[in-house]
Structures are given as C-alpha cells and as structure tokens.
Amino acid sequence: MIDLIIAIVIFITVIAAMIFIRIRYLKNTEVKQTDILIALIPIVLWLFLSGRIEKFEFGDLKIQSAFLEASTTPITEQITPVKFPTRMVTSNRKSGVAEIPRLINSRTEALVFTLNYGGYAGSAIEEYLRRLTAYPFFNYIVINDQNKTFAGIADARELYSIFQNPQHTFDSEDFTNWLRYSDTKALSTLPGFIGTEDAIIDDMDKKAVLEKMEKLNVEMLPVVDKKGIFTGVVDRSRLTASLIIDVANKVK
C-alpha cells in the first residue's frame, strides 16, 4: 500500500512539474495524453513489482497492465449528452424571440441546423445566438444532413463573435446560404468545426479516442451512434480522469 501511495505521489509530482514547465517556458497549461503516459510510468512499475500484472515487456512485444486494460474500455460512461431543441430553429425573427425563453429554461446546450433547408434567416439566427450565448450552458452549433445523421459541430460562441465582427470574411447570411445549399466545404471553416469524418462512435475505447484527440489537437470530439446520429460529446479532461480512476480501481 505504501508503494502505491509513493507511485501516486510521483505521478502527481511529474504532472505538476510538466504543468510548471509549460507555464514557465511554453506559456501553455495543457496536459496532453503523452504527459499522462509518462507520469503513469511509476504506477505501471509498481503494478509489475507487486505482481499485479502478468507481463512487462518492451520492443515489439505487447505490454499487459492494468493501465492498458483500462485504456481499452469503452467511452460510454464519459459521453456527455447535449441538450438541444427538438424543433427546428425558426426563420421568423418574432416567433424566434418567443421561443428563446423555452430554450433557456430547458438549458439548451446546442442549436441544430439541417442542410439543404431554405427556411433559415440570418437575423433570426443571430438573435438566437445573442440571447443564448449569455448563458454558460450553451456551447454548440450542430449540423445534420436531411436524414438527421450528423454532419458537423462548431463553437456557437465563437460563431456569434464572428457575426458581430464586420471585418470577418463571412456573416450570418453567408452561414444560412451554406446551410441552404449544403456547402460543406464552406461550413468546415466555422470556428471549432469538427466534421463527420472525425466524429467518434459511442463504443470506441478510451485509448483510441485519446489518440484521435491528440492527432487532431482538440479537447472535445462529437459522438455518434452506429446509425450516425449525434448523441453527445466527450472531452479530454473527463476521459483522462476516468482512465486514472479505472487504473486505481483495478489495483485495489
């Protein structure tokens, strides 16, 4: 037990040292997956020395440990469902204003738009974003195909900031046209946009998801089911925390 406590203390110390170095020299507080793996080495060594793993090999041979076992568990428990309205955003500014209080009361986290739909109006969309971005629970713009399958997700707050900036290259009317004509290339330029090709399936394991986040250099990924329907998001911090908890549970 003392050895485990020592290993955990070393783990925390290594993470703290990495954060200090990033703040001091890189001006960056992000803890990446590689940092977690390096910091976990003391715990993996303790697992081997205490007989809690069967093998500890290097090179091309497979390493079997509680950490790797935990990393291959599904992300199901770490998916955060996203609340969004079941009705389409109205193109009528007046009725849109009347709808907004209901969205606020239900703590709506995303607005969903559908490609190839001609009923959107830029002024109405701006009104939705203006009112909803005042609340911390609202974060996303979700775009679906006509068959309701996921097409992309973007940062709602940054999008609204762009709409308010006359110097930017596009505005809310451009956005509505991109939706109307299914211009996915233009939509991919939205702030924080993540398309269907980078969405993750809801039964992927933690290791694969963390590797994808590292490759894309993102803190969040959208989640879809096997039919391609958007079900929520998973973020790096929650995933890495669950991984550490899983390891701790396996060595009790």
Per-residue pLDDT averaged across 204-227, rounded? 87
What tokens appear for 130 in the block? 């203006």
HSE-CB at 27 with a 13 A cutoff on CA atoms is 0
Instruction: Note the pLDDT tens digit of each residue in 60-110.
Output: 434 445 555 655 666 666 666 666 554 444 333 444 567 888 888 888 889
Q: How far apart are CA 6 and CA 43, in angstroms?
A: 9
Q: How far apart are CA 95 and CA 76, in angstroms?
A: 38
* DSSP secondary structure of 43-62: HHHHHHHTT-SS----TTSP
Instruction: Note the pLDDT tens digit of each residue in 9-51.
Output: 666 676 677 666 666 666 655 656 555 655 555 565 455 445 5
225-247 in b/e form (b: 16+ CB < 10 A) is eeebebbbbbbbebbbebbbebb
- 17-26, 132-141, 150-159: the lowest-pLDDT one: 17-26
pLDDT at 93: 40
Strand partners, 144: 114, 150
Burial class (CB in 10 A: 0-12, 13-18, 19+), 205: middle
Select the more confidently predicted residue: 185 or 56: 185
Domains defined along the chain, listed by start:
2-64 (no CATH), 93-234 (3.10.580.10)
Instruction: Note the pLDDT tens digit of each residue in 180-210.
Output: 999 999 999 999 999 999 999 888 888 788 8
Per-residue pLDDT averaged across 142-159, rounded? 94
The model carries a pTM of 0.69
pLDDT at 185: 95
pLDDT at 58: 42
Q: How far apart are CA 220 and CA 217, in angstroms?
A: 9
Mean pLDDT estimate for the chain = 76
| pLDDT for residue 221 is more than 80 | yes
Say whether 151 sits in a helix, a strand or coil.
strand
